[in-house]
Amino acid sequence: MNSDLLNETAHTSYEQWTWWWKGSNKKDELARSILTVSGVILAIFWYLWTSVKSRKGVAPLPPGPRGLPVVGYLPFLGTNLHVTFAELAHRYGPIYKLWLGKKLCIVLSSPSLAKEVVRDQDISFANRDATIAALVSSFGGLDIAWSPHGSYWRSMRKAFVREMLSKTNLEACYNLRKEEVRKTIRDVYAKIGKPLDIGKIIFSTESNVVMSMLWGGTLEGEKNSSVQDEFQEVIEKLIGLAEKPNISDFFPMLAKYDIQGVERQAKRLVAWVERILDAVIAERMRLDSCEGAGVSEDKERKDFLHILLALKEKEDTASPLTLTQIKAILMDIVAGGTDTTATMAEWVMAELMYNPGVMKNVQEELAEVVGMNNAEESHLPKLQYLDAVVKETFRLHPPLPLLLPKSPSKSCTVGGYTIPKNTKVFLNVWALHRDPQVWDDPSEFKPERFLSEPGKWDYNGNNLQYLPFGSGRRMCAGLPLAERMLMYILASLLHSFEWQMPKGEVLDLSEKFGIVMKKTTSLIAIPTQRLASLELYA
């Protein structure tokens, strides 16, 4: 039956169109000719129109490795992601794509492409691509580092930069920093001749300083010390968890199963943090509610918690802060202000011990500027060679080798290629800092390269060849405090002590990739007294 229907349809179509090729009069031939020519002309116009449209349409995706089905390029990444990305750039160019599981990633590694992202289209690339661990530890992206670009993020960053890290407030907090650094010098002096873990010493100093600035007017004595120790422990664990590869980040459809338990672990640690912060906040609110209770005897200095609680109570604020948002910001400040700074200080010490000639130059400068006294923050602007050493260390060992990944809020064109909305975008600063087209002898440790034009190289992201802290509106907000603390602790340790490797040990400068790039092995060194007066160590 179906066969009969098909034959009938074909016969009808044949009868209707036989005139086209069997026309018997001139009128039919003319019509056939006109239709044929018109069809050809229309076909030509259609071809030309589609060709022009394709040339003017969406740019293609960047080139890149194919990878494997389902898992993409994940099996080939290796342990040092920044190095793998640099090697792929040699093959595919300074912009390329790769699939990590179900996540499309774009990697950039040239100053011109960096300019397109952090300057020309900065607003479009102002969002972060947060991992699950980062979202949990930031209370759902409520901190400064991971919150989406918008009015909330702008108000938080403004409060942090203009009030907490204002020049007046930083100078008023100097005695806190000085007290912690002097305490570190005393502790190291008590262990002269013994091998010490440099990274742990500096991390402890940094975290004590930051937490004193957070709530220094709230807790006192042993209670404050106990809270700082506990908070430092949980922050270290959260940072370690954030650096752990999580299959849920590469395959979002598996996130609900939390196969590796990363989300569960992060939530337990955050609950631990909340318990600590709830006690601190309750104590601060109790003090503020008491008649006549001030922040501290120093009216100039305001601890960060006091400032945040004051913002929470402002009646003219369109969206007043919640306690959860305050906790997220406090967490952000501690994590961002301790681990990266301590890691960079350890790298500086390692490079100086590996380059004894550079170490000698630094200590000669310290002797000339500081003399046989304790280093003070007032000496720092005069320590130009130490500043060059620190900048060269940032070049070779940027603390965040890929910065924090960006995620465009809309599809964009960069370098002639399309970067789709919500793509994970990496800027490989590590590769950019070792580009032989930009830097002479890029693998060599040469601080002198930063002495000839000191104004050309700063940490503000103005020179797109040098971006240790990023650039644009999402660059590191804690830069003023980080720069002060790094220089101050280094000047104090290098001026007060000589440093040597334990006998038989070889200094290792290999890197271990993470959100923060650390040394593969901790720097263990033995201090000896350098200054003549014992009073300087008291």
Structure confidence by residue, pLDDT tens digits, 322-361:
999 999 999 988 888 888 999 999 999 999 999 999 999 9
DSSP characters for 215-239? HTTT--HHHHHHHHHHHHHHHHHHH
Residue found by looking up tokens 């289209």 in the block: 121
Q: Is the pLDDT of residue 512 over 70?
A: yes
Q: What is the largest CA-CA distance in the chain?
A: 121
At residue 72, the 3 state secondary structure works out as: strand
Residue 320 DSSP one-character state: P
| Residue-averaged pLDDT of the chain | 87
According to the model, what pLDDT value does residue 33 have? 60
Residue 44 pLDDT: 63
Give how far the C-alpha of residue 473 lies from the chain's centroid of Cα atoms, to the nearest Å: 13
Residue 324's pLDDT is what? 93
10 Å Cβ neighbour count for 169? Answer: 19
Q: Are 71 and 502 in contact (CB under 8 A)?
A: no
CA distance 64 to 67: 9
Distance CA 247, CA 252 (A): 8
Q: Which of 461, 437, 425, 434 is nearest to 95 (CA)?
A: 425
Closest residue by Cα to residue 179 from 134, 132, 212? 212
The 10 Å Cβ neighbour count of residue 489 is 26
CA distance 122 to 116: 8
- Segment 473-483, tens digit of pLDDT: 999 999 999 99
CA distance 267 to 245: 17
Could you tell me if 515 and 134 are in contact, meaning their C-beta atoms sit under 8 angstroms apart?
no
Which residue is it, tokens 């995620």?
A: 407
**Range 74-537 classified under CATH 3.40.50.300:** no
Q: How far apart, in whole angstroms, are the C-alpha atoms of residue 310 and residue 485?
A: 26
Percent over 90 (pLDDT), the chain: 66
Query: Closest by alpha carbon to 376, among 524, 175, 215?
Result: 175
Distance of alpha carbon 352 from alpha carbon 349, whole angstroms: 5
pLDDT by residue (tens digit) across 49-77?
544 444 556 899 999 999 999 999 999 99
pLDDT in the model for residue 294: 47
Residue 451 CB neighbours (<10 A): 15
The alpha carbon of 29 is separated from its chain's Cα centroid by a whole number of angstroms, namely 74
According to the model, what pLDDT value does residue 10 have?
A: 45
Report residue 404's pLDDT band, with 50, 70 and 90 as the boundaries: very high
Q: What is the pLDDT of residues 277-326, one digit of tens each?
A: 999 999 888 887 874 544 444 445 568 888 888 888 875 556 678 999 99
Of 43-47, 337-341, 528-532, the least confident: 43-47
8 A C-beta contact, residue 477 and residue 160: yes
Give residue 43's identity as a one-letter amino acid code. A
**Domain ranges, ordered by start, for the chain:** 74-537
Residue 439 tokens read as: 């830097």
Q: What are the CA-CA distances from residue 498 to residues 75, 139, 201, 526 (Å)?
A: 45, 44, 16, 8
Residues in the chain: 538
pTM of the predicted structure, to 2 decimals: 0.86
Q: Report the pLDDT value the prediction gives residue 31, as an integer from 0 to 100.
A: 53
Separation CA 426–CA 416 (nearest Å): 17
Q: Given a cut of 90, is residue 114 above it in pLDDT?
A: yes
